[in-house]
A and B are shown apart, each in its own frame.
Chain A
Amino acid sequence: MWLLTLYRSTVGKKAIMAVTGLLLVVFVIGHMAGNLQVFVGAARMNGYAAFLKSTGELLWVVRLGLLAAVLLHILMALQLTRIKAAARPVDYQKRQPQVSTVASRTMRWGGVLLLVFIVFHLLHFTTGTIFPWASAPDALHPEFSHTDVYGNVMSAFHTPWVVLFYVVAMLFLLLHLFHGAWSSVRTLGLTTPSRQPMKRHVATVVALVVWLGFTAVPVAVFFGVIR
Chain B
Amino acid sequence: MNMKLRVWRQSSPDAKGALKEYAATDVSPDMSFLEMLDELNERLMEQGEVAIAFDHDCREGICGSCGVMINGVAHGPMKGTATCQLHMRSFKDGDTIVIEPWRAAAFPVVKDLVVNRGAFDRIIQAGGYVSVATGAAKDANSIPVPKEDSDAAMDAAACIGCGACVAACPNGSASLFTAAKVSHLGLLPQGQPERYRRALKMVAQMDLESFGGCTLFGECMEACPKEISIDFISRMNRDFLVGAATAPMERGGGED
| Interface, chain A (partner B; CB < 8 A) | 1-2, 4-6, 8-15, 80, 83-84, 86-101, 104-105, 107, 179, 182-183, 186-191, 193-194, 197-198
Contacts and interface: CB of A to CB of B under 8 A. Distances in A.
A10 B217 contact: no
Contacts of B212: 10, 80, 83-84, 86-88
A188 B72 contact: no
Given A80-B213, A98-B223, A87 B19 contact: no
A186 B200 contact: no
A87 B171 contact: yes
Contacts of A10: 173, 203, 206-207, 211-214
Interface string B217-254: 11101110000011101111111110011010101111
Interface residues of B, number: 57
A15 B65 CA distance: 33
Nearest to B98: A94
21 contacts: A2-B247, A2-B253, A6-B241, A8-B204, A8-B207, A9-B203, A10-B212, A10-B214, A84-B172, A84-B213, A86-B212, A87-B212, A88-B104, A88-B212, A94-B98, A99-B217, A105-B170, A105-B217, A186-B237, A189-B238, A193-B152
B105 interface: yes
Contacts of B41: none
Contact of B231 (A6, A11, A187, A191): A191
A100 B72 CA distance: 14
A227 B105 CA distance: 58
B69 A92 contact: yes
Interface of B: 8, 19, 69, 71-73, 98, 100, 103-106, 152, 168, 170-173, 175, 200, 203-204, 206-207, 210-219, 221-223, 229-231, 233-241, 244-245, 247, 249, 251-254
A64 to B, nearest CB: 25
6 closest pairs, A vs B, by CB?
A189-B238, A87-B172, A10-B213, A87-B212, A96-B72, A5-B253
A187 to B, nearest CB: 6
B105 A11 contact: no
A57 B22 CA distance: 71
A213 B229 CA distance: 34
Contacts of A91: 103
Contacts of B216: 104, 179, 182-183, 186-187
Contacts of A191: 231, 234
B230 A95 contact: no
Nearest to B171: A84
B7 to A, nearest CB: 11
A11 B237 CA distance: 6
A110 B244 CA distance: 31
B181 to A, nearest CB: 15
Contacts of A182: 216
A34 to B, nearest CB: 30
A189 B235 contact: yes
Contact of B215 (A92, A97, A99, A104): A104
Nearest to B246: A2
A30 B252 CA distance: 38
A186 B106 CA distance: 25
A221 B247 CA distance: 55
Contacts of B106: 87
B90 to A, nearest CB: 14
A189 B218 contact: no
Contacts of B236: 11, 189
A80 B207 CA distance: 11
A14 B72 contact: no
Given A12-B244, A87-B106, A99-B218, 12 more contacts: A5-B244, A14-B215, A15-B241, A80-B215, A87-B105, A87-B212, A93-B98, A94-B72, A99-B217, A99-B219, A101-B218, A104-B217
Contacts of B73: 96, 98
A134 to B, nearest CB: 37
Given A5-B244, A186-B230, A83 B213 contact: yes
A75 to B, nearest CB: 14
A25 B231 CA distance: 23
Contacts of A95: 69, 72
A96 B71 contact: yes
Given A13-B213, A15-B241, A94-B100, A197 B222 contact: no
B69 A9 contact: no
Contact of B103 (A90, A97, A101): A90
